Structure 1
């Protein structure tokens, strides 16, 4: 069964542009990861500090490989201390 991910990332007030660019930069290589079925970055229309990454992976193995990839690890390290909070939810994709 496919695995859906919704990651909500809130940038520090003075880091909005940096966080946005860092998140944008990880999208193209992530879309190339084996098992990536959907990967897109959005922004909350009411709060410019809040970004939402919407992802779909073939299975847990594909997601785990993504999380171990250099581009993902680099993004996580780069955003350290530049975000106020992050929440990640996992979903079973039904359709």
Structure 2
């Protein structure tokens, strides 16, 4: 079953450029993963500190493998210091 993910990431204003660069690297790396069907990064027009990922994964196993990658772990290491709060992750399915 395909997994659809929307992830909302809010950086601290002082770290927006650094967080954005890390997120863009994740896009570059993730799009090479076999189970990744779609992986796009958006930035809010109203609040430039807010980034939104839209992702489609072939299956849960592919998403699990993604979450174990080094570049995802590097992002997780930034969270406490560089983000306003913990990212909001919504896993969904088509209805």
Q: TM-score, normalised by structure 2?
A: 0.91
Instruction: Indicate the RMSD between aligned Cα atoms, in angstroms.
Output: 1.2
For residue 27 of structure 1, what is the aligned residue in structure 2?
A: 27
For residue 36 of structure 1, what is the aligned residue in structure 2?
A: 36
What secondary structure, in the 3-state scheme, does the structure 1 residue paired with 2:84 have? strand
Counterparts of 2:68 and 2:6, CA distance in 1: 18
Higher strand fraction (1 or 2): 1
Question: How many Å apart are 1:87 and its aligned residue?
Answer: 0.5
Segments of structure 2 that go 5 or more residues without pairing to the other structure are none
Counterparts of 1:19 and 1:91, CA distance in 2: 25
What secondary structure, in the 3-state scheme, does the structure 1 residue paired with 2:46 have? coil
CA contact (8 A) 1:22 1:79 kept: no
How many residues matched?
Answer: 94
What secondary structure, in the 3-state scheme, does the structure 2 residue paired with 1:34 have? coil
Q: TM-score, normalised by structure 1?
A: 0.91
For residue 90 of structure 1, what is the aligned residue in structure 2?
A: 91
Counterparts of 2:63 and 2:56, CA distance in 1: 9
* Segments ≥4 residues shifted beyond 6 Å: none
Q: How does 1:1-95 map to 2 (within 5 A)?
A: 1-85=1-85, 86-94=87-95
Question: How many Å apart are 1:79 and its aligned residue?
Answer: 4.0
Segments of structure 1 that go 5 or more residues without pairing to the other structure are none
Question: How many Å apart are 1:75 and its aligned residue?
Answer: 2.2
